[in-house]
Structure 1
């Protein structure tokens, strides 16, 4: 936990992995996520069989360099922690992969402990009731 999904347009594998590293570093810095707690889905869309759509919502101009980052994690972070995470993701994505901060779009999806299973068909975050 958390589960991260990164979607880009026309990105090579090395850059996609670099973006994954950037987001994981930001999660460690801002939320204290441990280094080994890394679950990511990295997708580079080719613009033909799959693509990304973007607009200039809130007056922020996006272009084909846009990176969509969706993070699913357990509930409990403060607004300040989330704001720090957004800043760190934008900083790391720019420093490591050259993504302009205006092109970093992040969404957080929160859930609770019973919503996770990391294997064996068990809910590792839930105390067994036997």
Structure 2
């Protein structure tokens, strides 16, 4: 936890890997998650079979170098921590800041299963484990 999804247009595997590493470092630094806690889906869209659409809201003029970063994480971090995360992601991706769009989706302890059909952060009859 957290789960990170990165989508880009026309990106080669090396660039995707670099983006994944950059976002992971930002998540570790800003959110304080363990460095071995990496769950990522990295997708490069070819513009023909899969595409990305982007607008200029809220007055940010993006181009086809846009990088979408969607992070799902447990709720509870304040706005200052989230702002620090956004800054670190923008600093580390090597992409024009106007082309990096980050969204956070928060959920609760019972919303995570890492395998074996268990709610790892909300075990039956016990206290949550992990961070």
**Aligned-pair distance for 1:91?**
0.3
What pairs with 1:1-130 in structure 2 (closer than 5 Å)? 1-94=1-94, 99-129=95-125
Q: CA RMSD in A?
A: 1.0
What TM-score, normalized by structure 2, do the two folds share? 0.94
Q: Measure, in 2, the Cα distance between the counterparts of 1:31 and 1:129.
A: 28
Structure with more helix by fraction: 1
Report the 3-state secondary structure (helix = DSSP H, G, I; strand = E; otherwise coil) of the residue aligned with 2:43. strand
Q: Structure 1 runs of 4+ off > 3 angstroms?
A: none
Q: C-alpha separation between the residues in 2 aligned to 1:7 and 1:44?
A: 6
Rounded Cα–Cα distance in structure 2 between residues aligned with 1:8 and 1:121:
32
How many Å separate the matches in 2 of 1:127 and 1:8? 36
How far off is 1:93 after superposition?
0.5
Secondary structure at the counterpart of residue 92 of structure 2: helix
Q: Deviations over 1:54-113 (max 9, x none)?
A: 11111111000000000000000000000000000000102xxxx101100000000000
Matches of 2:89 and 2:116 in 1, distance apart? 32
Residue 7 of structure 1 and its aligned partner are, at CA, apart by 0.2
